[in-house]
A and B are shown apart, each in its own frame.
Chain A
Amino acid sequence: MRKGGGVQIRGLRELGIIVFIIIISILVGIRNPRFLTWGNLHDMLLDTAVLSVVAVGMMFVLVTGGIDLSAESVLALTGMVAGIIIKDNPYLSPVFMLLFGLLFGGFLGAVTGLIVAKGRVLPIIATLSMMYIYRGITFIVSRGEWIDAHEMPESFKALATGRVLGFSNLIAIALGVYLLFYYFANHTRTGREIYAVGSNLEAARIIGINTDWVIWLVYTLSGALSGLGGVMWVARYASAQNDTAAGFVLTVVAACVLGGVSISGGAGTIPGVFLGAITIGIINNALPMIRVSPFWRMALQGLIILVAALVNVAVARNVERAQLRQREELRMVRHGA
């Protein structure tokens, strides 16, 4: 990571997740060899594509010390509007629909961002309200109806079924998002300013960063990626429903946390979020394959996140204790001298 030069606390942490992923894969592979087949791994990645795209946007919000609960409703509303448009205009190109998702979601996110950055409403409150508002608008525009597979043109559904270089289009899109935002986070001034705002807001303001603009930007980005995720979701499941992705936002946050993003801001990496999303994908895919009861699945998922969080706390506490000990020692030296 020398040439990236960004946040360095990663290394160890990401290695930990990779080791965890490998151990799980081997254990599950022994119990059920089908797990490690190309077909299954591809399915797993396909199931994780939307989650991983939305998680990138969430990461930037978390890095500034905020949270975007409205992501799931932006996803549902954008998906619904996209579904209605494609139903009425089946000749529209799928690429156009993806762009529409980015722009429409970005607009929804920009509204939320304005409320947080200029309205000074706490992120959790502002995005909670917008979560309900956008979900409500989803019902209003759909008049409570949903859009079925047979109402969508084949060209649109091909977004999920078509392949590039052996990967589903959706996986390719997700990988593209990761490459683009890896560059953005590590090699652009704005990208680094997001980290600065989350690491020390006051200091960021003092060195002349437009902190309000940065905060507005991360919610806009989160909205845009949620909108993109919405279009991907509708193509993948070939249906747009009113309750699409209800509760999904917590899975997104979980993927970020597993990937080492700090809820209190300042820390979080694109590779980390990628691994976090993959880990969630593996848990969801592997547990049924080794016949873990679905009743147990959620509890196990929670347990894994909890362990990850406890490890974080333990590491932080050790660092603090070491610093205090160091301070004490130097005082002893000074007084002894």
Chain B
Amino acid sequence: MGERILELRGVSKFFPGIRALERVDFDLETGEIHALVGENGAGKSTLIKIITGVHQPDEGEIFWRGQKVTIPNPTVASRYQIAAVYQQPASFPHLSITENIFLGHPFLRPFSRRLDWKRMHDRARELLKSLGSDLDPITPVGTLSTAQKQIVEIAKALSINAQILIMDEPTAALTKREAEELYRIMRELKSQGTAIIFISHRFEDIYEVADRVTVLRDGKKVGTWMVKDISERDLVRAMVGREITQLFPKAWVTPGRELLRVEGLSKTGYFSNVSFTLHAGEILGVSGLVGSGRTEVAHALFGIAPADRGKIFVEGKEVTIRSPLDAIACGIGYLPEDRLQQGLFLPMSINDNITIAILDSLTRRGWLQPEREYEVSSKMLELLKIKAPSIFSLVSSLSGGNQQKVVVAKLLAARLRILILDEPTHGIDVGAKAAIHQIMSDLAQEGFGIIMISSEMPEILGMSDRILVMCEGRVSGILTREEATQEKIMEMAVNVNWAKLQKKEKVGVDYA
């Protein structure tokens, strides 16, 4: 390892209501591969975005080769020879590989200012070759596989002589062989002195290529270790090892009759062979990292993006769900993760939002009955303790927590039996969170069946009767409330290769 090329000191970033990063120190040396790990929302992306100039830190300092710098935008970042390769590269799909590499800094002929295609194509071919790829540089990037796109992104980084290369989950969408090819390229770059920051959920990757590993949790740094000095078990513990301080009010309810049974649900490219049951009075937590297929399963159950194969039974009867309308007819409701985009009509009143899905039942001879509408929404306002001057207030004027309650009210008004809640407390303050949890508990007691997708470990552990863990489109297991621990869930979610791990530990014992 060489000199320190990048250092972050006490960097913090606050978003409304959230501390994304809190006084994080981080350093990077030339010729090292530094892994960055943590749960969803641990602050990895925010850290990367600060380094690449997408976000500005609210506190703290950045040093580049020992000198204090500010990185106000990505263009300046590339001047400091910082480049990033993302899991799904943000490229120009219609344009050729050459153009994707050189658009920001094309070769021009000296006098005519005409683009020098020949030199650019030749240089692109050279760069690709140095990465072991014989792709034709005139190929449009939109026709490449993800692995090929990443190679193009790396070539782009090389074209600006990047000394700091950030790779955000580069192996998530790659086959084993493609991943190995990527490791080879990373080692090669490292031997030439490039410093690489490497984000990955796959422990296999980390132990394969990384020199050091930094763990973030809830926006704070847990620590930095040499990879060879920390076992996978300790790494998992570092990622999840928090004390659970919040109280969750889910009361025990004896599960009633079966409301929902899913058998072998599959959707090509998203998830496969998902099976589970849900009973009245039960909260089924669904855990998994981003990209594990959690939300896609919810979308299939609610008919937004129907599954290709598999069976869905509601109260014992097989049903076909091809659209949200079908799902609602079966008594299934969905609270979307992105409430602003998919859950609310911001410029409309609370009343209009709550009754929008049930207008049919509020009409007489085709005419709406406003009094009945007001009756329904007033009841909901009271029931869910929505803090608003009246049912005619605009939803856009409410706080995040109260907006979320309006979405829940909309679901409840529709007389459903099965509720799918996708990140129900994401981005709302602690008080509103407790209120939503109380509502969920009450609903379970009334006999609703609830599927709760959540990235927050304490919420999953505190609210769920059973926990379904997903990894890479598959169900890696279902845990009961008693069995579940943070470590077990995280292990199932990151798909640690335990067979291999145990072998490794044995070797360690032998040496000892």
**Is A266 an interface residue, CB under 8 A from the partner?**
yes
Q: For residues 292 through 336 of chain A, which have their beta carbon under 8 Å from a beta carbon of chain B? A: 319, 323-328, 330-331, 333-335
Binary interface encoding of chain A residues 173-202 relative to chain B, with 1 for a CB under 8 A from any of its CBs, else 0: 000000000000011110011011011101
Q: A192-B99, A334-B472 are in contact. Are A327 and B93 (CB under 8 A)?
A: no
**Is B104 an interface residue, CB under 8 A from the partner?**
yes
**Is A4 an interface residue, CB under 8 A from the partner?**
yes
Q: Which residues on the A side are within 8 Å of B121 (C-beta)?
A: 5
User: How many residues in A have their beta carbons less than 8 Å from beta carbons of B?
Assistant: 43
Kindly identify which residue among A187, A266, A330 contacts B117, using a CB–CB cutoff of 8 Å: A187
Q: For residues 53 through 86 of chain A, which have their beta carbon under 8 Å from a beta carbon of chain B? A: none
**Is A267 an interface residue, CB under 8 A from the partner?**
yes
A-binding segment of B35-43, B171-179, B320-328, B403-411: B171-179
**Is B75 an interface residue, CB under 8 A from the partner?**
yes
Min CB–CB distance A259 → chain B (angstroms): 15
A-binding segment of B139-147, B223-231, B236-244, B365-373: B139-147
Nearest CB to that of B112 among chain A residues?
Answer: A187
Binary interface encoding of chain B residues 179-193 relative to chain A, with 1 for a CB under 8 A from any of its CBs, else 0: 000000000000000
Kindly identify which residue among B96, B138, B146, B472 contacts A331, using a CB–CB cutoff of 8 Å: B472
Binary interface encoding of chain A residues 1-13 relative to chain B, with 1 for a CB under 8 A from any of its CBs, else 0: 1111111110000
**Is B317 an interface residue, CB under 8 A from the partner?**
no
Nearest CB to that of A267 among chain B residues?
Answer: B94
Q: For residues 163 through 212 of chain B, which have their beta carbon under 8 Å from a beta carbon of chain A? A: 173-176, 178
Binary interface encoding of chain A residues 154-186 relative to chain B, with 1 for a CB under 8 A from any of its CBs, else 0: 000000000000000000000000000000001
Whether the pair A3, B118 counts as a contact (CB closer than 8 A) is yes
Give the A-B contact count at a CB cut-off of 8 A. 115
Q: For residues 71 through 119 of chain B, which have their beta carbon under 8 Å from a beta carbon of chain A? A: 74-75, 90-96, 98-99, 103-104, 106, 108, 113-115, 117-118
Whether the pair B94, A9 counts as a contact (CB closer than 8 A) is yes
Q: Which residues on the A side are within 8 Å of B145 (C-beta)?
A: 323, 326
Min CB–CB distance A38 → chain B (angstroms): 36
Whether the pair B117, A334 counts as a contact (CB closer than 8 A) is no
**Is B268 an interface residue, CB under 8 A from the partner?**
yes
Q: Which residues on the B side are within 8 Å of A95 (C-beta)?
A: none
Whether the pair B117, A196 counts as a contact (CB closer than 8 A) is no
**Is A144 an interface residue, CB under 8 A from the partner?**
no
Nearest CB to that of A2 among chain B residues?
Answer: B138
Q: A199-B94, A266-B93 are in contact. Are A189 and B106 (CB under 8 A)?
A: yes
**Is A206 an interface residue, CB under 8 A from the partner?**
yes
Nearest CB to that of B175 among chain A residues?
Answer: A330
Q: Give Cα distance in the complex from A196 to B270, angstroms.
A: 30
Q: For residues 472 through 489 of chain B, which have their beta carbon under 8 Å from a beta carbon of chain A? A: 472-474
Min CB–CB distance B272 → chain A (angstroms): 7
Q: A2-B138, A327-B269 are in contact. Are A203 and B117 (CB under 8 A)?
A: no
Q: Which residues on the A side are within 8 Å of B290 (C-beta)?
A: none
**Is A119 an interface residue, CB under 8 A from the partner?**
no
Nearest CB to that of B473 among chain A residues?
Answer: A331
Q: A207-B75, A333-B176 are in contact. Are A199 and B115 (CB under 8 A)?
A: no
> Helix, strand, loop or mixed for chain A's interface?
helix
Min CB–CB distance A243 → chain B (angstroms): 37
Q: Which residues on the B side are within 8 Å of A209 (C-beta)?
A: 103-104
Nearest CB to that of B202 among chain A residues?
Answer: A334
Q: Give Cα distance in the complex from A100 to B358, angstroms.
A: 61
**Is B120 an interface residue, CB under 8 A from the partner?**
yes
Q: Which residues on the A side are within 8 Å of B90 (C-beta)?
A: 200, 202-203, 206
Kindly identify which residue among A3, A200, A335 contacts B474, using a CB–CB cutoff of 8 Å: A335
Kindly identify which residue among A5, A207, A330 contacts B103, using a CB–CB cutoff of 8 Å: A207
Min CB–CB distance A216 → chain B (angstroms): 19
Whether the pair A203, B174 counts as a contact (CB closer than 8 A) is no
Min CB–CB distance A268 → chain B (angstroms): 9
Whether the pair A187, B92 counts as a contact (CB closer than 8 A) is no
Whether the pair B268, A6 counts as a contact (CB closer than 8 A) is no
Whether the pair A334, B106 counts as a contact (CB closer than 8 A) is no
Q: A203-B90, A208-B75, A324-B269 are in contact. Are A8 and B96 (CB under 8 A)?
A: yes
**Is A337 an interface residue, CB under 8 A from the partner?**
yes
Nearest CB to that of A321 among chain B residues?
Answer: B268
Most central of B90, B103, B143, B473 by chain A CB within 10 Å: B103
Binding site for B on A (CB under 8 A): 1-9, 186-189, 192-193, 195-196, 198-200, 202-204, 206-209, 262, 266-267, 319, 323-328, 330-331, 333-335, 337
Query: A7-B140, A189-B115, A192-B103 are known contacts; what are 16 more A-B pairs with Cβ within 8 Å?
Result: A187-B114, A187-B115, A187-B117, A189-B106, A189-B113, A192-B99, A193-B103, A196-B92, A198-B94, A200-B91, A203-B90, A323-B145, A324-B268, A328-B269, A333-B175, A337-B176
- In the complex, 28 of the A-B residue pairs with CB atoms within 8 angstroms, ordered by the A residue number, are A2-B138, A5-B121, A5-B138, A6-B95, A6-B99, A8-B96, A8-B140, A187-B115, A187-B117, A188-B113, A192-B103, A196-B92, A196-B103, A198-B94, A199-B92, A200-B91, A200-B92, A203-B92, A204-B92, A206-B75, A207-B74, A323-B145, A323-B269, A324-B269, A324-B270, A326-B145, A330-B174, A333-B176
